[in-house]
Homo-oligomer: A and B are copies of this chain.
Amino acid sequence: MNGSVGAGVDEFELIRRHLAALGATRSDVVLGPGDDAALVQAPPGRQLAMTMDTVLAGRHFPHDLPADSVGHRALAVNLSDLAAMGAEPAWALMSLAMPSADETWLAEFAQGLGDLARRFDVAVAGGDLVQGPLAVSIQLTGFAPARGALRRDGARVGDEVWVSGALGGAMAALEGGLEETRVRDPGLHARFAAPQPRVNLGRELVGIASSAIDVSDGLAADLLHVLDASGVGAAVRSEDVPVDPGASGYLSSARALELALSGGDDYELCFTAPPDRADAVREAASSCDLQVSRIGYCVAGTGLSITAGGRSLVLKGKGWNHFGAGQ
């Protein structure tokens, strides 16, 4: 809990005012924000799942994204990582860099982050505030499932490939214009402004799915990470990939499909499961009020084969580079 923002503004007071309330929401937080470190009590026998992601203005979100959305997204991307492990979120630490002390912005940021934190019973137990280009780093710790976490390396030949929800909506909202979609299609707008991490689905899939990853860089790129880690290939039919229905209001169907395959930022789960667990997958999704789509299956070999109409595209190696692709 060090650092400061701007001459004459007391950063500790700012932190206390807006973020301290987020730190004392769990009984296993023994000592929340305000000391050199937070103290928490881990449950006995459970492995901890720990992730950390940074979002920067101008790179991961537009500079003028409302503060509550910045706060929501910063936590959501980390919740999504734990969802992909089937873990139960518990404690967050946050480092916030902002160009100047702006209490209104900070209050809205804390609101957006806090609403999502409460929904998943996450305590923001500590962190720091520094002056710099707007960026939020969040480290999130959760409890791994006792039956074993979902990992990227568990896909086997013959497993089916699934994805939750619909894809391409987040990037379609960006391409359609966030201000425009906010007014005309709030549902699509929210796909970017307030993504919903699939924490409950991830936990339900423990013992069912053989591997999982969250769709942050794009379906193809993320699925390739699973295939690489598991030592298998996969064949996906693009007709089976669930394209966000809102995208068609702004984009051609070809572009909407492209974004569904490679757009990223949707924070759905892509996972594999043996064919005889298909009913269990659907039940797990249904219990979370989520759609799931079976989009292909794992094959011997390497790489991802995507068929569209009669044609087939084979992707290998590292897949698309989210930023390198010119997005």
Which of B12, B39, B52, B95 is close to A49, meaning CB atoms less than 8 Å apart? B39
User: Which of B10, B39, B84 sits near A149, CB closer than 8 Å?
Assistant: B39
Among A130-138, A180-188, A252-260, the stretch in contact with B: A130-138
Q: Which residue of B lies closest to A324 (CB)?
A: B7
In the docked arrangement, what's the CA distance between A59 and B97, Å? Answer: 11
Once the chains bind, are A42 and B48 in contact (CB under 8 Å)?
Answer: yes
Write out the residue numbers on chain B whose beta carbons fall within 8 Å of the beta carbon of A151.
31, 35
Let me know if A324 and B51 touch, CB within 8 A.
no
- Tell me which of A38, A52, A152 has the highest count of chain B C-beta atoms within 10 A of its own C-beta: A52
Q: Which of A27-59 contact B (CB under 8 A)?
A: 30-31, 34-42, 44-45, 47-54, 56, 59
Q: Mark A120-150, 1 if CB is under 8 A from B, else 0.
A: 0000011110111101010101101000010
Number of A positions contacting B (CB below 8 A): 78
Closest to A125 in B: B50
Q: Say whether B84 contacts A53, CB under 8 Å.
A: no
A51 B318 Cβ-Cβ under 8 A = no
Bound CA span A137–B41, Å: 24
